Amino acid sequence: MIDTGEVSAFRDLHARLGDAVESAVRGKRDVVDLVLVAMFAGGHVLLEDVPGTGKTTLARAVAGALGGVSRRVQFTPDLLPSDVTGTSVYDPQTGQIRFRPGPVFANVVLADEINRAAAKTQSALLEVMEERTVTVDGVGHAVPDPFLVVATQNPIDLDGTYRLPEAQLDRFMLRTSIGYPSVDDELDVLRPGSGAGRIADVPAVTSPREVSAFSGRLSLLHVADPILRYISSLGVGTRSDERLRLGTSTRGLRTLVRCAQVYAAAKGRHFVVPQDVQDIADPVLAHRLVLTRESVLAGVTTSEVLADVLSRVPVPKPSAQ
Amino acid sequence: MRYAWVAAVLLVGSLQLARAWDGAFVYFGLAALAGFAALLLARLVPAGLAGLAVVVLAMAGGFLAARGASPERDPAWVLLDTVPRLLTAARPAPATPELLVPGLLLIVGVSTAAVLSVAKRGTALFVPALGAAVLYVSAALLTTGRADRHGLVALALVVLLALGWLVVDRHGPVLPPAVLSTALAAVTLLAVVLPANGFEPRRLVTPPVTGIAVANPLPQLAAWAAQGETELLRMRGPEVPVRLVTLSRYSGASWEAASTYGPLGVVDAPDLPTGGKVQDASVDLRITGLRGEWLPGVGKPQAVSLSNAMVDPDTGSLVVADGLEPGLSYTVRGVLETPADTDLAEASVPSEATRYTALPRLPFTLGEYARQATRNARTPYEKAVALEQVVRLDRRPDAEAPVGSSYARLETFLFGNPGEAGAGAGTAEQFASAFAVLARAVGLPTRVVVGFQPVPEQDGERVVRASDATAWPEVYFSGWGWVAFDPVSGNGSGPSAASKREVLNRLASTTATPTPTSLPSVPPLVQPTAVRPDEVAAAPAGESFPFWVFTPVLLLVGLYVARTSRRVRLRAAGPVGAWHEVLDSLQLAGLRPEPSRTVPDIGREWGEAGARLAVLVDQAAFAPRPGAHQPSWPLARQVRKAVRRNASWWRRAVWAVDPRPLFRR
């Protein structure tokens, strides 16, 4: 069981990280927080956004604040799996076959336009995301910890792309979008000499070691039974909605619990409340839902369906324990 | 669910209204459900059209039913005419078609409006409440509040309506329930108080009065006596004397009945009030051989199941203007005055009832005879008993005796020499008349009743024959009403005979004889016996305190106590209790948060106190091992104040007694 002292230490850390990242990515604290939640929960993030909204900046700022390594992979149709994971090469100096790590060997990996790569390359990345090791020539090579993949996807301009199948979307803990900044924030970014986008200036406020230590501890945060029951009824709600071909899987609900734990701790609480669940339900669950064809044609989005489910399922009533 | 509720409201209202009629419960109960026919119809056509159709159908039916009663009237007036008809009818009104029409139309209209409004959302509470109030007030007006003396039905209606707004109408009615309940309470109070103030819708309508020149039925007694076993009527019910006509005017030559009659149940009270001890009697009568216009009844009639029966309010004589038909069946409910002999012993007679003591040009002999016979009697009752005995003694009933009740005939009857026709012999006519004239001569208000003796029951029926016809005098005692005496010779028995003998014994022992008769020379009929004094009746209950006044007050106090105890309980329950107090306040203000909204989400709307309280509540509810919590009640109180400030005035007015939080889980 995690206590209040530990939680307030985490909240400070989370706030520091957030502040550091925000110095480079202006006015997107909520998205920054979500990405940090995914990192502490040991998951990965899918950003769906048009180019130029700061996806890369965000990923690199997180890496910078973490004090770890960040790499970027631009996915193209001719990208090979070994280009992502790394490969064995002959070292002429030593005369031995040596493993040369690919770009996934970093604390923060930015997989840009993941849907442009061929399916087998996508699979290679997703496998690393799940397994956290790269196996080449029968030898496993562990990726560093913490390991956060931030994949981006361009929702427009879908010609010649390979849509991620549902099973693979499920591998992403969160899906969100950055979106355009508000007018004030945009002015701030546009002003010459502003610190926005200067990754080099992002201070390293923690160490990868500290982050992975917290990550393990946070899974012990208290979740009361009524909250678990509430999460379960949310799952039932999505499964029984007529507009959905596929509701949330049990893995999706587990992920929701995990995210809610980190989210609650980030708010400085050593327990989860229904509001936490509601706040992160959309980024955690919406990309796991599959609409029926009719709903797609009717222009319904999974976020709308999920919002309906949230407004339909009663929250657990406060009662004395 | 809400249909069951509206049906219950309508049924209670309709059955209450049905009490203004005699046996209309079934019709009114069915009419109350007419709205559901409109509901079925509303599936085919728009609801407004459906409602209109049902009401028009009901009016057409009412028109046809009422048409039979006044075929010669302009059709446009037929329906309108039913209302004054109802107001001048007997009370409770007989359940004849033309009298039922106004009530049925009212109920059908109310029912249609209520059911159709419930089918729509929003006005669900308002229209049924208004309808129930209309029905209730109509019932109160038609019965002058007698249908609901203690306001219990009104209370039931209010409770039912309150249930409706709790159970049925979750989304809140268009009109605030507080306004409605206040209005309803006011109407209830008004309806119950109204009869005390004497408002009476019947005063607005002039009842038709019919003059009837009916022959004096007294001479008929001799004819009936001659007919013997001829069957006149059959009755079912208790063994009570049947009254045909009451004669209260004496001209010196004959007795006369009242000549103007009005509908039964109209406002006019009898000129002399009814006695303090009464009992109800209800008999079913079937005319078999009786002719004439007089309608046999019992006691002072309260209700007759014939719509064309009319009554003289002073005497209670019933007439049917069209005359009796063999086979006519009807029910009469009457009030019998039943004072005990001990009540009468000291009773006085009213001095102002000169109408019942009038004796135009009374011969001296009769007056002197009466005075001597009652010389030693102290009280009016003793005088009456003495006269009863005097008239009875030495006279024999004789069906062949000359008829008549003039002074001359009575002098012959009382003082005639043996051998003279009719001396010392007569029918009940002469016995009753002689008693009445002598009693009037000593100042006792007296009248003569023509009727039939009680007959034994055979196979569930009492067959009244011509030989049962008789006449008897009645004397009025203040506070006890009209008391029958039986001066006919040979009838020395009866329930009050013992006390009368006691009176006679005492009179005989203290005194000598009046001259013309042999009253004292007659030995007592029985040896004086100890007479057990009847239980002294409890004094007639005065104005009983109107305890119903307190029912609404008690209701309010009860609600307040329940709400306060809930608050105390919540206060002891820490932050969670404090949160429930906030939810109570929100409900009272008409703001029920969606069940899917979280505590902080709701709390934020009510300022900093709400947000802080929300944190405490979440901690108490979802944290592991919640320890000692910070004081949360003051925060809840701040939120409650904020919520209350935003509520409308009428919600604030009933804040402390609104029962809805009691039903919230």
B329-375 pLDDT, tens digit per residue, is 888 888 888 887 777 888 888 888 888 888 888 888 888 888 888 88
Which residues of chain A lie closer than 8 angstroms to B574, CB-CB? 320
Which residues neighbour B52 within 8 Å (Cβ) at sequence distance 6 or greater? none
Q: Is the pLDDT of residue B532 over 50?
A: no
Q: Check whether residue A67 and residue A115 sit in a common domain.
A: yes
- Alpha carbon of A294: minimum distance to chain B alpha carbons (Å): 27
Q: Clarify whether residues A53 and A187 are in a common domain.
A: yes
Give, in order, the Cα–Cα distances in Å from B184 to each of B76, B130, B162, B366, B659.
34, 8, 11, 65, 17
**How many contacts, defined by CB atoms under 8 Å, are there between A and B?**
73
Q: What is the mean pLDDT of residues B481-500?
A: 69
Among A222, A231, A271, A309, the residue to mutate for chain B (most B Cβ within 10 A): A271
Higher pLDDT, B192 or A193: A193
Look at residue B492 and tell me whether its pLDDT is greater than 60: no
Local structure of A267: helix, strand or coil: coil
Asked whether residue A156 falls in the same domain as residue A270, the answer is no
Question: Is pLDDT above 90 for B21?
Answer: no
Model pLDDT, residue B125: 66
Interface touch A320/B595, C-beta < 8 Å: no
Range of the domain at A268: 221-321
Select, from the ranges B1-5, B71-75, B510-514, the one with the highest average predicted confidence (pLDDT).
B1-5
> Would the CB atoms of A320 and B621 count as touching at under 8 Å?
yes
Task: Give the 3-state secondary structure of B331-393.
Answer: EEEEEEECCCHHHHHCCCCCCCCHHHCCCCCCCHHHHHHHHHHCCCCCCHHHHHHHHHHHHHC
SS3 A282: helix
Give the whole-number percent of chain B exceeding pLDDT 90: 3
Number of domains in chain A: 2
Nearest to A319 among B598, B621, B624 (CB): B621
Q: Does residue A183 belong to any structural domain of this protein?
A: yes
Considering chain B, what percentage of its residues have pLDDT values greater than 70? 79
pLDDT in tens, A153-170: 877 766 777 778 777 788
How far apart are the C-alpha atoms of A296 and A298, rounded to whole Å? 5
Q: Is B657 part of the contact surface with chain A (CB cutoff 8 Å)?
A: no
pLDDT, position B453: 84
In a domain, A20, yes or no: no
For residues B233-261, average pLDDT: 84
Which of A54-58, A253-257, B306-310, B396-400 has the highest average model confidence (pLDDT)?
A253-257
What pTM, to 2 d.p., does this model score? Answer: 0.49
CB B290 within 8 A of CB B452: no
Kind of pairing between the strands at A96-101 and A86-91: antiparallel
pLDDT score for B65: 75
Chain A contact for B71 (CB, 8 A cutoff): no
A185 and A269 share one domain: no
Least confident among A265-274, B64-73, B129-138, B217-226: B64-73
Work out the pLDDT band at A304, boundaries 50, 70, 90.
Answer: very high
| More confident: B28 or A194 | B28
Residue with tokens 């409201």: B9
Please say if the pLDDT value at position B288 is more than 90. Answer: no
Residue B29, chain A, CB below 8 Å: the answer is no
Is residue A150 predicted with pLDDT exceeding 80? yes
Q: Is B428 exposed, middle or buried (0-12, 13-18, 19+ CB in 10 A)?
A: buried
Which CATH class for the B343-510 domain?
alpha beta
Interatomic CA distance for residues B336 and B235, integer angstroms: 17
Which of B577, B597, B618 is opposite residue A273, by nearest beta carbon?
Answer: B618
Tell me if A139 is assigned to some domain. yes
What is the structure's pLDDT at A171?
A: 85
- Looking at chain A, the whole-number percentage of residues with pLDDT higher than 70 is 98
Under an 8 A CB cutoff, do A275 and B599 touch? yes
**More confident site: A1 or A273:** A273
Q: Do A318 and B573 touch (CB under 8 A)?
A: no
CA distance A250 to chain B (A): 22
Q: Is B599's CB within 8 Å of A274's CB?
A: yes
**Predicted confidence (pLDDT) at residue A235 exceeds the cutoff of 90:** yes
Domain assignment present for A92: yes
> What is the C-alpha to C-alpha distance for residues B459 and B362, in angstroms, rounded to an integer?
49
Query: Does B618 contact chain A (CB < 8 Å)?
Result: yes
Q: How confident is the model at residue B626 (pLDDT cuts 50, 70, 90)?
A: low
Residues of A with CB under 8 A from a CB of B: 1, 222, 224, 226-227, 269-275, 278, 310-316, 318-321
Q: How confident is the model at residue A263 (pLDDT cuts 50, 70, 90)?
A: very high
Co-location of A156 and A272 in the same domain: no
For B602, the closest chain A residue by CA position comes to: A275
Is B598's Cβ below 8 Å from some Cβ in A?
yes
**Residue A42 sits in the same domain as residue A81:** yes
Q: What residues in B contact A312, CB-CB < 8 Å? A: 596
pLDDT digits 0-9 by tens, B542-560? 445 566 667 788 888 888 8
State how far Cα B148 lies from the chain centre.
10
Q: Does B613 touch chain A (CB under 8 A)?
A: no
State the Cα–Cα distance between residues B274 and B459, nearest whole angstrom. Answer: 34
> What percent of chain A shows pLDDT beyond 90?
27
CATH number at residue A242: 1.10.8.80
| B175–chain A Cβ distance below 8 A for any pair | no
pLDDT at B195: 52
Band of pLDDT at residue A230, cut at 50, 70 and 90:
very high
Enumerate the residues of chain A whose CB falls inside 8 A of the CB of residue B595. Answer: 314-315
pLDDT at A314: 92
The residue with greater pLDDT, B32 or B530, is B32
Chain A touched by B291 (CB under 8 Å) = no
| Mean pLDDT (whole number) for A281-296 | 90
Looking at the structure, tell me whether residues A175 and A226 fall in a common domain.
no
Same domain assignment for residues A267 and A144: no
The answer to whether the CB of B383 falls within 8 A of the CB of B439 is: yes
**Chain A CB contacts of B621 below 8 Å:** 224, 226, 273, 316, 318-321
- The minimum CA-CA distance between A229 and chain B, rounded to whole Å, is 12
Mean pLDDT of all residues in B237-264? 82
Q: Which residue in B has a C-alpha nearest to residue A311's C-alpha?
A: B596
pLDDT averaged over every residue in chain B: 78
Whether residue B623 lies within 8 A of chain A, CB to CB, comes out as yes
Select from B237, B207, B247, B171 the least CA-distant residue to B449. Answer: B247
Question: In this predicted structure, what is the pLDDT of residue A320?
Answer: 66
Residue of A nearest to B617 (CA): A318
Q: What is the structure's pLDDT at B127? A: 76
Same domain flag for A162 and A296: no
Residue B496 pLDDT level (bands cut at 50, 70, 90): low
Most confident region among A98-112, B10-24, B386-400 by mean pLDDT:
A98-112
Q: Are residues A60 and A152 in the same domain?
A: yes
Task: Find the closest chain A residue to B579 by CA distance.
Answer: A318
The domain segmentation of chain B, as residue ranges, is 2-204, 214-342, 343-510, 549-663
Among the partner residues A224, A315, A320, nearest to B596 by beta-carbon distance:
A315
Residue A70 sits in a domain of what CATH number?
3.40.50.300
B189 vs B615, more confident: B615
pLDDT of residue B528: 38
Query: Looking at beta carbons, which residues of chain A come within 8 Å of B575?
Result: 318
CB < 8 Å to B624, chain A:
1, 222, 224, 270-271
Do residues A259 and A154 share a domain? Answer: no
- pLDDT at position B194: 55
Please state, rounded to an integer, the average pLDDT across all residues of chain A.
87
Q: Are A319 and A238 in the same domain? A: yes
